[in-house]
Chains A and B, each alone.
Chain A
């Protein structure tokens, strides 16, 4: 009798669980492997949003801070002008206001973290996945969580500065799928949590170290896609690459070197071949972001919209106001083309296969994100970690300058510029100066240079309009909503 009653009650409970037709409820979603995959891919799509890694978090906002672009001078009341001057609390409403941009990054990044936690929570509760699938889903979700927190830390917390700010309050580390705000942790604590998550991810992902080649697959919706395009997932190597970045950030050079060289030596990633490089964005062969070098890049479905808006001249002057461009002179200076042997740099605007679109000498657009061929899946990728950075990390983390130069010269060779000798570069400072130049040359439009400046606490950013830099300028303020509703 009691059993019947209980059974009846359970039945009623079941009946009261309603599955919406146009939405997928939690239970329904995580009852199959496909559901986990959909949620995981959704997380990447969330990261790839133009308000997150797909735009503001990389080439738009962060690279404006890194002073890459030209449309900042004398326009103190525009989005770019304000951004380049680190007026983080500005809400001058132009193309977009700075406060809103920061808020968009914060909520977009944490939104992706929430979805990763959503997956992790259900992985723990249900036993739907097993084997490789389990390892990959859990590993990627953990790695995403850690990687995003690490980037948030690099934006919203003071720089680590070799431990000087270890105890400074940073950001909340969201480990649960919850609506309850969590207390902010110190910089050191956040780094430790990132490290833990990444190491676990590394462990889990080690079951599938293969890296496939990015090939055309348009139209296929087979679930096999799950194991394809590893470079567009936080794969085993990406976890290591981010760990290398993280160790270097906290000054653990031994581990930074270890992880960077593991990626370098994996043999899964290679430099683009300057001889076969195709830069015509209207062809299937074009590969302007150098995809063989991608350790992890995000596929941004609507990147064409952004590329056309920000990196191409528009019909109206008004829509050109938010374009992102540099000048020929500044780019030549950046690539040091006046130096002997540097003119061959495959990244320089005058390279035979130029990755730049020189509209005029004063307006030069990067072609990195041009997506003019719908069947070319190498387009619409925004890199998050690329191979050269591993060499740079290894160079910086190497025990001696000499050993470091070896790594740096590998990249220089791949870019067809002369090797640096120990005669010219013989102190760590000189090596840093060279590395800074290389970071600038290599990572245009990829949102990483700013973090170099911050980590190195650079006071005068080259070509900057907001110098001298201060700790406040290197730290974003929390969005107002977070201050109001979070735990302070």
Chain B
């Protein structure tokens, strides 16, 4: 028997790992699977002190049985191959207190076998002696008659370590080249083997490059293995344990730092989006490229029904969205913000875990998928510095805007009869003043390009220094990063300062690691406010007055008596106040406005490992995270939003505080054993987690002087205002286990079980069980397939299991009360119920099944495909109830969604030269998913009913049974009637009408693409790299909100508009247009707004060059000449171009930007 135990060199978080199986099995395969290698290291320890004499009394026993008996008595293990024993005869033997050697001679020589006992070892090597002729003539002949050449062997001892970290590698295989003699390293990474001088030893270990050493004499060798460049693809890291990919039955996708560096250097989320299309950042047309907004992230479309009935307003991004996947950084759960701000150069590996088999170890948190990220670890050696410097440019992309210039806008106003008032003379006269003043401005050449005013080309920089080193048992790494991102809107930036220290120390079989990170972040929002304002300002206005000062009001039109005219005081300045005079947002921006957020956080991860035996390892981990947030919004008194306020209410300061603390502990035991062809990996463990946060915010008003920008200088709290805040404590306790089994590396089984207790569940359902089972078949290890010769990998896998989600507000499961704060009852303050605690509230359950295949052909073509069905039952929803219960709603498990989809990853490696690092490959990653709602809550049904009667200019999200969550509802339209300029609607009964009835709404599209993905090429030749990532989307629709809001529902008399208002709206009978009439037949402006109609549902097909990177890697010679290592210069650019079937304004609140960046990286 061989008990295999090994440590994965990449195991950063310290999960005990067993990886070596695959390599050993490869070796076994090479022996054509007919050789059984048996030994018994576990007996070596107990062998000491056992007598060298043997007592045996056997009849008709097989040699194998006899060996076992001898093993038991002497502690010597037998090493032989199955072939050796083939055809051996049954043994009859009776010896008493006979020396071992003598017994062995008696036993073996008659069978035509020899044996050797390498000195110092506890192994007996049994071999066939060759032909019968060479047999010893006499059975039972004395031992002296035998002098097999193997006895000239010398004992070689040594230790195998990782070249990078200096960690000993447990379970590495040492084979004497050309023979079947092999051994494994023990729990300290040490081995001992017998080999003849001059022979070669081959050392192999999964994830490392094989190494050969030539034995000279008996000595102690320290062998260091280098990490294999393809190692990341050989293992799957789940954050709890690591498994060889060939043994894994789950659906996952792994990316190395190298893979990621080919895409982007700014944000890991953006990079993953390009690498795996099932990982999606929801495009937000409003927020554009605002660096201070967290994206919405989903994996495989997300499985929860977002609760339309309830809303969470926890500031500081403390609560994740319902469909946000779980992020695990170095083994511990972290919030999305942490990943968003993570320095990409610190990332060593990312694993995206998708299906039940891959994620169920996370139980109640895993329904939305799990992203496991590991950071780099220091390398052993002398002190080494690495510097990474980066300069990046964010250039605003305003190409989606197509606004009118001054003259065109003025013409449009005239066409709309904005300057005539139904023949009311005095009104017409007043309007005449506006007409003349504006025309005069235009004649003077005024044509302000408002949208270019608040934008800039943001230049950001990043510097990171990494110091690492250490030897033997201690390693250290210190990292410092400064990163400043400057946004495309003036004054908008994000700065991150981050420091990290990593220490690792090893004593005997124990290892301790501590990883401390401190981050400080400052995010400034642009004082220029919402970008939308600038898209609406009329181009015949100027921001500056005649002497060059910023205007407060953009227009001042007076009649002959000097009275200011108010005819156009219908302008909405988007400042929360009613319509009025148009104010100058540039004036506001010039004031001392503060709008920022800061946070500091501290993260400390500590882990300790104990390699209790070669096959058993214990790991204990503890993480502490602390974060303090602050937000400041200061508007000075001069801000235009205060023009009509009393003096002491002018100016406001809104301050927010937040604190978040989380602690997590985990204890795991990892085991692995190889018994014959049966390989087992097992992990059991427990984890415990607590997250706490609270936030407070309040507002102070009265800062009459702009210099008074400190909170304490405020005058007072606004009347009737009170501080607001949120608070949450959640606790989780999990018991987890996983066992993977493979037979002959052909048949794979995987089983996980986890029980979670969560404070968020109801008292009646405190503990939730989750499980998964997976099966796989490595077809490429079947002889039939092997004989084909071109199939390098062909794995089929299937998994099924349950995972849960608990992305919902805590305390929904318990009835809670609160004290009245503003009233009493005869001097006593009573409590009132806040809500009904549903003590039967359970976890949301997602049943996932996944069928997948991994195929590699001709060593060039990689294909991975997955088909999945994910069914979520019991999304937490707000349920309306009869108010006679005393409550109007409560939280309940309601709302079932079923999602079906597939993923396909294709890669064709045209050139693949690992030595020279030359490679050229083409890839395409495709993704498609459809979901269907099976059941909705009463609240949602009631909201759907309400949506049937609401006139809305944008589609109302509805969750209707049997339909997709992303369905677009609108009234079908036949287009614009050329004779009247009015739209023709199709009613439910098929008749046509000009009258909009919301009850006629049907599903007219689906915003989810039928197929989407990325494709491109990776090229590296002689150190010069070139990578292109295209994104495409096909088959989805979108409601073109821009067209509705900026072309039809526009008050063109007040605001600047899209060019299409001017050019493409119906104006006279006979006009065949897409857009409805600007004016009706009578010449009067049509003011009835456009409500959701199918006319604006457009195909949303896309082709974009998302990322393009180039780099130059210095050759070793050049590096050496400069005294450097690993030098590389890279150039990144994103959003180079996009072709879309839908033309709409993008980046309404904040413009989108194209980014370019140049990065240099070197070590010395």
Interface positions of A (Cβ within 8 A of B): 12-13, 15-26, 29, 35, 37-46, 48, 103, 106-107, 110-115, 117-118, 171-172, 174, 178-182, 217-221, 225-226, 228-229, 232, 299, 301-302, 377, 479, 481-482, 484-487
Contacts and interface: CB of A to CB of B under 8 A. Distances in A.
B342 to A, nearest CB: 30
B368 interface: no
Residue from the set B731, B811, B827, B942 with the largest chain A CB neighbour count within 10 Å: B827
User: Which 8 A-B pairs rank lowest in CB-CB distance, beginning with the nearest?
Assistant: A114-B886, A42-B830, A41-B830, A301-B823, A486-B882, A181-B882, A23-B816, A107-B883
A418 B825 CA distance: 39
Contacts of A39: 817, 830-831
A26 B814 contact: yes
A12 B825 CA distance: 39
A482 B883 contact: yes
A230 to B, nearest CB: 10
Contacts of A114: 833, 836, 885-887
A383 B757 CA distance: 50
Nearest to B880: A485
Contact of A217 (B815, B820, B827, B885): B827
Contact of A44 (B727, B730, B830): B830
Given A25-B815, A107-B883, 12 more contacts: A23-B811, A24-B816, A24-B817, A41-B825, A44-B830, A48-B823, A179-B881, A179-B887, A179-B890, A217-B827, A221-B829, A302-B823
Contact of B819 (A21, A38, A110, A179): A38
Contacts of B880: 481, 484-485
28 contacts: A16-B731, A16-B757, A16-B758, A20-B810, A21-B729, A22-B727, A23-B811, A24-B818, A35-B831, A39-B817, A41-B830, A42-B820, A42-B825, A107-B888, A114-B885, A114-B886, A179-B885, A179-B890, A181-B881, A221-B829, A226-B828, A301-B824, A481-B880, A484-B938, A484-B942, A485-B880, A485-B882, A485-B883
Interface string B604-644: 00000000000000000000000000000000000000000
Contacts of A217: 826-827
Given A39-B831, A107-B888, A29 B826 contact: no
Contacts of A485: 880-883, 938
B834 A23 contact: yes
B732 to A, nearest CB: 8
Given A24-B816, A302-B823, A45 B884 contact: no
B766 interface: yes
Given A21-B729, A23-B817, A16 B766 contact: yes
Interface string B967-990: 000000000000000000000000
Interface in B691-712: 694
B521 interface: no
B1 interface: no
Contacts of A111: 833, 883, 886-887
Contacts of B834: 23
Contact of B825 (A15, A299, A487): A299
Contact of A172 (B829, B831, B838, B884): B884
Contacts of A37: 828
B566 to A, nearest CB: 23
A417 to B, nearest CB: 33
A315 to B, nearest CB: 17
Interface in B878-901: 880-888, 890
B106 interface: no
A229 B828 CA distance: 11
A41 B817 CA distance: 13
Contacts of A180: 881, 885
Contacts of B40: none
Given A45-B820, A172-B884, A16 B810 contact: no
Contacts of B881: 179-181, 485
A482 B810 CA distance: 28
A181 B884 contact: yes
Interface residues of B, number: 50
Contacts of B963: none
Contacts of B759: 16-18
B883 A229 contact: no
B827 A218 contact: yes
B1073 to A, nearest CB: 38
B1023 interface: no
Contact of B885 (A22, A174, A220, A484): A174
Contact of B816 (A25, A48, A106, A226): A25
B715 interface: no
Contacts of A20: 727-729, 810-811, 816
B837 interface: yes
Given A13-B757, A20-B727, A301-B825, A43 B830 contact: yes
A53 B817 CA distance: 21
B500 interface: no
Interface string B790-829: 0000000000000000000011001111111011111111
Contacts of A487: 882
A473 B363 CA distance: 58
A112 B825 CA distance: 14
B818 A106 contact: no
A217 B828 CA distance: 11
Nearest to B824: A301
Nearest to A113: B886
Contacts of B694: 21
B82 to A, nearest CB: 44
Contact of B826 (A22, A171, A228): A228
Residue from the set B757, B815, B888, B938 with the largest chain A CB neighbour count within 10 Å: B815
B763 interface: yes
Contacts of B837: 26
Nearest to A40: B830
A110 B826 CA distance: 23
B725 interface: yes
A21 B725 CA distance: 12
A225 B823 CA distance: 16
Contacts of A40: 830
Contacts of B816: 20, 23-26
Given A13-B757, A17-B759, A22-B725, A38 B828 contact: yes
B139 to A, nearest CB: 57
A179 B729 contact: no
Contacts of B23: none
A114 B817 CA distance: 12
Nearest to A111: B886
A106 B825 contact: no
Interface in B714-744: 725, 727-731, 733
A25 B831 CA distance: 11
B890 A45 contact: no
A40 B728 CA distance: 26
Contact of B733 (A12, A301, A481): A12
A303 B890 CA distance: 31
A481 B830 contact: no
A38 to B, nearest CB: 5
Contacts of B831: 24, 29, 35, 38-39, 41-42
Contact of A13 (B725, B766, B887): B766
A15 B758 CA distance: 10
A220 B824 CA distance: 12
B825 A44 contact: yes
B926 to A, nearest CB: 43
Nearest to A103: B883
A110 B815 contact: no
B941 to A, nearest CB: 10
Contacts of A179: 836, 838, 881, 885, 887, 890
A232 B825 contact: yes
Nearest to B840: A179
B426 interface: no
B832 interface: yes
Contacts of B885: 110, 114, 174, 178-182
